[in-house]
């Protein structure tokens, strides 16, 4: 939900798009121009819906970056078509290298559980940035500035994650929280206590 909620804010604030045809981000890739059974969900996730009862599906991964299988953490180079096994409980879902995904608790609605303990998944292979957006969830006060944002920046060369200052405020916002930082595909994780102040964390060679 944190990814979806923050992406929704990006759509509102910056005229972005929730569902994106591949050509919107990969206009240079001729093979991506006419693909009509895949789309980007936000700027980080590639979705390939399964519309027929099949055991495998061909999935094209746009060129220009590597892609992570969301379910397994394995990586594949862009610019190729791969076969993905698709049992009934799996839809092909890939994450662009350089992405930062915030993962929250399992909920049925936005205010069921607080976002005071989020998992921050980092997909290595490129620099990346993600802005976590929060507001009161149930009104339009954000239009008058009642919201907050925290920007996460990943430096792939230095293997550092910078968590920026928390900007803005709203009634009931979380003052302090835990971020469980995970490097996808590696046994690397670190728990950070965050109180709204900028912090840079080195993720090189730690467990």
Residues of the chain falling short of pLDDT 70? 205-207
When computed from its CA atoms, the radius of gyration of the chain, rounded to whole angstroms, is 18
What order do you get walking across the sheet with 188-194 strand by strand? Answer: 100-103, 117-122, 177-183, 188-194
- For residue range 83-123, what is the model confidence (pLDDT) as tens digits? 999 999 999 999 999 999 999 988 888 778 888 999 999 99
Q: Distance between CA 124 and CA 106 in Å, rounded? A: 25
SS3 annotation, the chain:
CHHHHHHHHHHHHHCCCCEECHHHHCCCCHHHCCCCCCEEECCCEEECCCCCCCCEEEEEECCCCEEEECCCCCEEECCEEEEEECCCCCCCEEEECCCEEEECCCCCCCCCCCCCEEEEEECCCCCEEEEEEEECCCCCHHHHCEEEEEEEEEECCCCEEEECCCEEECCCCCCCEEEEEEECCCCEEEEEEECCCCEEEECCCCC
pLDDT of 91: 95
Q: What is the pLDDT of residue 204?
A: 80
What pLDDT score was predicted for residue 205? 67
d(C-alpha 101, C-alpha 68), whole Å: 12
Phi/psi-derived region of residue 30, left when phi > 0, alpha when psi is between -120 and 50, beta in every other case: alpha
Beta bridge partners of 130: 152
pLDDT of residue 110: 76
Structure tokens at 13: 């604030």
Q: Tell me how far apart the alpha carbons of residues 68 and 32 are, in angstroms, rounded to a whole number.
A: 18
**In the prediction, which pLDDT does 108 show?**
82
Predicted local distance difference test score (pLDDT) of residue 206: 56
């Amino acid at each position: 939900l944190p990814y979806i909620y923050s992406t929704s804010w990006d759509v509102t604030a910056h005229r972005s798009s929730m569902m994106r045809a591949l050509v919107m981000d990969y206009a240079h890739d001729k093979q991506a121009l006419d693909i009509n059974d895949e789309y980007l969900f936000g700027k980080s996730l590639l979705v390939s819906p399964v519309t027929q009862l099949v055991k495998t599906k061909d999935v094209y991964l746009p060129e220009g970056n590597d892609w992570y299988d969301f379910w397994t953490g394995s990586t594949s180079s862009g610019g190729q078509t791969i076969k993905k096994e698709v049992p009934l409980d799996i839809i092909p879902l890939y994450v662009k290298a350089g992405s930062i995904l915030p993962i929250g608790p399992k909920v049925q609605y936005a205010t069921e559980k607080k976002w005071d303990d989020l998992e921050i998944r980092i997909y290595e292979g490129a620099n990346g940035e993600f802005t976590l957006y929060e507001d009161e969830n149930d009104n339009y006060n954000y239009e008058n500035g009642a919201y907050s944002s925290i920007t996460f920046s990943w430096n792939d060369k230095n293997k550092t994650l910078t968590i920026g200052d928390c900007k803005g405020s709203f009634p009931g916002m979380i003052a302090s929280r835990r971020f469980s930082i995970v490097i996808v595909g590696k046994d690397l994780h670190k728990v950070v206590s965050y109180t709204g102040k900028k912090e840079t964390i080195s993720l090189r060679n730690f467990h």
